[in-house]
Chain A
Amino acid sequence: MREFWRRYKRNKGAVVGLVILLLVILLALLAPVLFPGSPWDMVAAPFVPPGEMGMLLGADSLGRDVAAGIAHGARISLLVGAVSTAAALLLGVTLGALAGYLGGLADDAVMRFTEFFQTIPSFVLAILLVAIFTPSIGSVVFAIAVVSWPPVARVVRAEFLSLRSREFVQAAEVLGKSRLSIMVGDILPNALSPIVVLSSLMVATAILLESALSFLGLGDPNLMTWGYLIGSGRSVIRLAWWMSVFPGIAIFLTVLALNLVGEGLSDALNPRLARQRGGAA
């Protein structure tokens, strides 16, 4: 673990990313303390500019505090990012592992199924799913998970394909271990590093997807999210720039932080790659 942290630390960007990410998580956790009450409450006059009337980041068209919206929105954005990534991982890892380990007909079937999802533009599919199941937090998470799992399945399949023929797997087979226990107990731990890296990037993508859906008015109408804030500020951007700019910065920073963290993880988990990259630079 200490070795891991030492390697992670070498990537300065990754450390910055981690700090930003921790700050965002802290903001989400402290939202009810910093901004008690609902972010929907109309606490000021409409369109109060940043800094006036106690509105740090200004007020929106109904006099709601944009800062409170961003803090409470962080909870929803992070939650959606985490839950939908977890769901996509569950599906993607299961299918990828089966395809990669079993091979043959099962591999063909799973990969054709995966390609079917990959050929549909993922954002269009997400819009369609949310529209069909009516916008709610559940349908948004479901839609994001459905469009995000195929890359996971492909990566996991590739790892399993290469690991399956290694000697430690053959040894486990000779020992008479069940297929399930080989997949979960022997191969999966060795395939974990690309999954971890991928998942940090998936959380970022999921946050972007959720924001895009909310921006289009397809978010849960009862939950304050960053995409909703930008969407509702878009039409009055010439009147109240702060309504879309600050939530935009929040999304930008969070997604950037997740990408930096992902890169740091990748360096830390694949030391050889990192050294090569360092040498080239």
Chain B
Amino acid sequence: MTISRRGLMAATAAAPVLMRVQDALAQGVTPRRGGTLATILTPEPPVLQIGVNNQGPTIVAATKMFQGLLTFTPKLEPIPLLAKSWTVSPDKREYTFRLQENVKFHDGRPMTADDVIFSIMRFHMDLAPRARAIFQMIETATAPDPHTVRLVLKQPFEPFLLMLDASASAIVPKHLFDGQDFRTAPAVQRPVGTGPFRFAEWQRGNFIRLERFDDYWKPGQPYLDAIIYRIIPDSQSRRLAIETGQAQLTQANDIEPFDVPQLRSRPNLEVQTTGWEYFAPLSWIELNHRVKPLDDMRVRQAMSMAIDRNFIAQRLWFGIGKPATNPIASTTRFHDATVKLAARDLRAAAALLDAAGLRPDAQGTRFTIKHLVLPYGEIWSRLGEYLRQSLRQIGIAVELESTDAGSWARRVANWEYETTLNFVYQYGDPTLGVERTYVSTNIQKVTFANTGGYSNPRVDELFARARTAVTPEDRQAAFSEVQKILVQEVPQIWLMEMTFPTIHDRRLRNVITTGLGVHSSFDDVFLAS
């Protein structure tokens, strides 16, 4: 039994890490030691301890200091990181990880299996709802020796490995947290991890400086001496910083989509939109099914047919992102490319509304609905205006309502809206990031739950089957069927597979090498001369 498990040992994935360095060599560029990377962080995070805070900016900066057992390729295949290899038992319940042996925390103490078990079973379990939901499935976590961790699940859970990235379960030092309140421990203010960069200085409202960690476990790495995250609240100043070379890298929300075309034309800058495959945010018009006539499938189909998703992706987002084709983003696992939303067709949309008994009145209006504008910046207001004009064409009058971010979250969580816009991360697997929006068991008064109130027993059943199915083939079958049903019933009107522009100086190499993009450790990033 043990032998067969060892036989399954995934010695596969050491290759990509080496290959990246080799790729660079192949291009004639030897990684160069030295140099400071100046970049930007927007908005300023409250703390840099993953777990205590898991918002976007925290994860961007903290992943340079903290690492997970694994990370993922753009196709979401696992790459070893702190775990150098792993095996899965034939019944898919036991995961055994061999850890790297010479890993030190920034305070000089070695990282062992105890730290891994503490991080997963106590730290993230306590602090992060997303981690808790999954790690609750772990029956036992044991350390047969200081460099081996064995996790036994209560039942097979095929997407389990996806939860072991630094963004979901970074390994933290047990000796600095055990026996303390995790949120107020001194280490939260001076983060200590195993990553290639250690915390040096944080002037609030000004900059965060991380320094090279000389005892990093990969010999010769990292290449950079330091990374400085500057806090620049104004988007036009951020754009100037990258244009003038004061910053060599921008990411996530730093640069507004409308500024991207001009930055693309600069010869010294490179614009990339990859590196969001793991998060894969999908945006949609969120419909409240309790509001008539949005409970009628034909009405939802008609609304979906009235929208030009290409216009949204090309004209509003300037090509940063692409039209959604179904509820699972094309970079997420189990996306079925053969299942597609009905194409734009105003005549068919009008016919569907006629069939639903919604005839136009003298002004050509079939019915009026309210739309709560997503208060996340100008581009979302423009999208709201675009949708109002699009739906007007098929006789649906949309009344826009403005609100602030806090009220938006409260009203959506309390189902006090008719339609709004929303975008949700998929975390690589439909069970982790898609299921929650459509299953009736998750109809809750919480944001990012099934707030629309869609309910279909067959959909519930298929998501449940995909959750517990052991093989990827069985899961694919269930997810393909669920995509067909959802595309037919259009519970939410999917708009765009979102991504964010990563803009960097061409001399900066290896910025995006994994499916987590700028949320990687940057131990192989270097500044060519």
Contact = CB atoms under 8 A, between A and B. Distances in A.
Interface of A: 38, 40-42, 46, 61-63, 131, 134-135, 217-218, 221-222, 232, 235-236, 238-239
B91 interface: no
Contact of B402 (A38, A62, A134, A238): A134
Given A40-B389, A62-B385, A238-B262, A232 B400 contact: no
Given A40-B388, A42-B389, A232-B378, A221 B262 contact: no
Interface residues of B, number: 23
Contacts of B404: 131
Contacts, number: 50
B37 interface: no
Given A62-B315, A232-B378, A236-B258, A217 B402 contact: yes
A232 B402 contact: no
A276 B391 CA distance: 62
What DSSP secondary structure best describes chain B's contact surface?
A: helix
Given A62-B382, A131-B404, A222 B389 contact: no
Contacts of A222: 399-400
B315 A135 contact: no
What DSSP secondary structure best describes chain A's contact surface?
A: loop
Given A217-B381, A221-B384, 8 more contacts: A38-B392, A61-B316, A62-B315, A134-B401, A217-B378, A218-B402, A232-B381, A232-B382
A61 B382 contact: yes
Contacts of B336: none
A46 B373 contact: no
Contacts of B235: 235
Contacts of B399: 222
B386 interface: yes
A131 B362 CA distance: 35
Nearest first, the 7 closest Cβ-Cβ pairs linking A and B are A221-B400, A135-B402, A221-B402, A46-B315, A236-B258, A222-B400, A40-B389
A221 B403 CA distance: 10
A236 B399 CA distance: 26
Given A40-B385, A41-B389, A217-B381, A61 B315 contact: yes
A217 B256 CA distance: 17
A125 to B, nearest CB: 18
| Most chain A beta carbons < 10 A, residue from B385, B386, B392 | B385
B8 to A, nearest CB: 54
Given A221-B402, A222-B399, A62 B386 contact: yes
A235 B378 contact: yes
Interface in B364-397: 373, 378, 381-382, 384-386, 388-389, 392
A136 to B, nearest CB: 8
Contacts of A218: 402
A257 B372 CA distance: 38
Contacts of A217: 378, 381, 402
Nearest to B399: A222
Nearest to B236: A235
Contacts of A238: 262
B258 A221 contact: no
Nearest to B375: A217
| Most chain B beta carbons < 10 A, residue from A131, A221, A222, A232 | A221
Interface string B247-269: 00000000010100110000000
A134 B375 CA distance: 13
8 contacts: A42-B389, A61-B316, A62-B382, A134-B402, A134-B403, A232-B381, A232-B382, A235-B378
A131 B406 CA distance: 12
B405 to A, nearest CB: 12
Nearest to A223: B400
Contacts of B378: 217, 232, 235
A242 to B, nearest CB: 15
B402 A61 contact: no
B258 A61 contact: yes
A62 B373 CA distance: 17
A80 B388 CA distance: 24
Contacts of B262: 238-239
Contacts of B382: 61-62, 232
Contacts of A239: 258, 261-262
Contacts of B403: 134
A135 B392 CA distance: 22
B349 to A, nearest CB: 17
A184 B435 CA distance: 70
Contacts of A38: 389, 392
A218 B381 CA distance: 12
A40 B261 CA distance: 25
A47 to B, nearest CB: 9
A63 B315 CA distance: 9
B315 A221 contact: no
Contact of A235 (B258, B316, B392): B258
Contact of B373 (A40, A221, A232): A221
A84 to B, nearest CB: 19
